[in-house]
Structure 1
Amino acid sequence: MVKAPHEILHQIFRDDRSLTTAALRCVVGVAVQEVTLLKETSNDATSLPLESRIDSTLEAVIDGIRCTLAVEAQSEIDPDKEEDWPYQITYLHAKYRRPAAVLVVTNRVRVAEWARRTFVIKVPGLPSEVRTNLVVLGPDNVPLTRDLQQMKTNLDFSTFSTIVHGRSLHVADILETLERALSEIDPAVAAGHAAMITAGLVHPKAKEKWSDLMEAQNYDFEAYGVFADWKAQGKAEGKAEGKAEVILHILETRGVPLSDVGRQRVLSCTDNEQLLAWSTRAITATTEDELFA
């Protein structure tokens, strides 16, 4: 099952022209004036013998040109994506016969930097190659919205910005300001934004802070289905992620290297007993194999 934070990072772009326009303007080298159409299309990019599934696939009209955007939420470095993303672009271009691009959204700077690389497919000695560059949105290029008036003026982008900067040292102040902005608008509209933030936050302290702020509100989260049990789910995931972060911190402090696959294995684990076992081994382990033995 895909975790809620992953879902929110790409679903927030669906049917929201103003957010997509504002987000694209954050990227260096992008000169987008306006997105005038945005609707979801099939995210199944299956073509035997290759299989791929895109997080969200959107049909958009950008400055008068109809195109297809594959929106991918990425929380960790995944070498497999270096092959998936070029395939997604060529598949969507061939299927819809219009320009296509991949938009990667992440809440980690190191993942954003990795995704901005040029991915090259080339046979040595032959003058043929495929070069893929992505549109990447992360904490290092999405503006951090902290002003109350700015938040009230553009709540869609402020919600997105808050989720992307959910690991920021200033997240507590950001959440307090955003809660004030939501308290001054229609409760039904505010509930939608509050639900997205609840599902999109990943850092345990940020989730705890937002939970405390929401205790004073009376938002109807039942209308949002997946968010109905947000309190219990948030606390459980927060505890698990907190333990995972401790394990990674211990290994980093001791100078024990961990592969990207190993990091993802730790961060995606929700079994508290397994996390406890790994945290015990992290104190003495000298290799990744010893940690997962």
Structure 2
Amino acid sequence: MTSPIPDDPVVTIADSDLSTCDPPKPKEYRADLSFLLASQDSRLVAIIEPQTAAPKPHKRRSWPAYVVNAHRTHHCDAHLLVIARRQQVARSCAKPIRLGHRGFTLAPHVIGPDNTPDPTDPALTAANPELAVLACLTGALDLDIVANQHLILGLIANLDEDRKRRYNSAIRDASSPQIRHSMEALMTTVYRDKFYEKIKAEGRAEGAAELLLDILREREFPVSSELRERAIHADEEQLHAWALRAIKATSIEEVFLD
């Protein structure tokens, strides 16, 4: 054993049910984003966690659970990748998480401003859109500079709709209100097309979905993965109706009654 046994310990029988429960209600472990990379010969899971500030102790204790649960679910190697907004945050996130069991120490992979690949590097042309988004998330690409706003929007504009929606959402979440306003102005002028008008509507719907889920959590209603997906993909009008029901409903079934 690598952890010392306490002197004169008081021994009690601990709960042997190690399910992901945190009384009095179940504990959810939801990473911000996960990717399954698979080929004919191998596969692995990458768990992505953006961090804008040094993680609190309870958050760091969740990271080993993410890796173990992903390993168990997908039956393959699992890696935790933390994307840090500032270098000080990157150093804090990179600290090993020691669980006490021999050899069981999680050392997160961390990408911060100092080790983000340069999205303008000609040798990385094929990955330029993804690297540019990553650089926005780490702050390596300063979006206070208008030229960089043009750079990222120009790279995203030619992608398929799903990637455009996902990348735009990620950049918005990592940006200040001033930057979001400036980029929206560019979207409606220089980079105007139907998709960017759609982004605004989807952004409102995403906010309404988060509000609904917050209300359900506050009411302590159990939300299954299926119901969560219904909320995420519903339109703004439907979400508003569900939210009004959720305030007074006595059960989760009443909220989603069709």
What TM-score bracket applies, with the shorter chain setting the length? 0.5 to 0.7
Compared CA separation, residues 201 and 210, structure 1 to 2 (3 A): farther
Q: 1:51 aligns with which of 9, 15, 27?
A: 27
What is the SS of the residue equivalent to 2:99?
Answer: strand
What is the CA distance between 1:156 and its match in structure 2?
3.0
Q: Tell me what 1:276 maps to.
A: none
State the TM-score, normalized to the length of structure 2.
Answer: 0.54
Larger radius of gyration: 2
Q: Tell me what 2:150 maps to.
A: 176
Q: Tell me what 1:145 maps to.
A: 119
Indicate whether 1:158 and 2:135 are aligned: no
Gaps of 5+ in 1: 1-45, 234-293
Indicate whether 1:116 and 2:94 are aligned: yes
Q: 2:168 aligns with which of 159, 180, 195?
A: 195
| Aligned mates of 1:105, 1:157 — CA distance in 2 | 12
Indicate whether 1:221 and 2:187 are aligned: no
The 5 A counterparts of 1:122-137 are 122=100, 128=102, 130-137=104-111
Deviations 1:107-161 (A, max 9, x none): 2222211111111123xxxx84631111222222112435799778732332332
| Aligned mates of 2:102, 2:86 — CA distance in 1 | 33
| Aligned mates of 1:163, 1:214 — CA distance in 2 | 19
Q: Tell me what 1:25 maps to.
A: none
Which structure has more RCO (C-alpha within 8 Å, separation ≥ 6)?
A: 1
Gaps of 5+ in 2: 1-18, 209-258
Number of residue-to-residue matches in the alignment: 183
Deviations 1:177-219 (A, max 9, x none): 3345556x47968964773365234224432432332231323
Q: 2:184 aligns with which of 211, 219, 224?
A: 211
What is the SS of the residue equivalent to 2:48?
Answer: strand
What is the SS of the residue equivalent to 2:95?
Answer: coil
State the TM-score, normalized to the length of structure 1.
Answer: 0.48
Q: Which amino acid aligns with 1:221?
A: Y
| Aligned mates of 2:86, 2:182 — CA distance in 1 | 20
What is the SS of the residue equivalent to 2:104?
Answer: strand
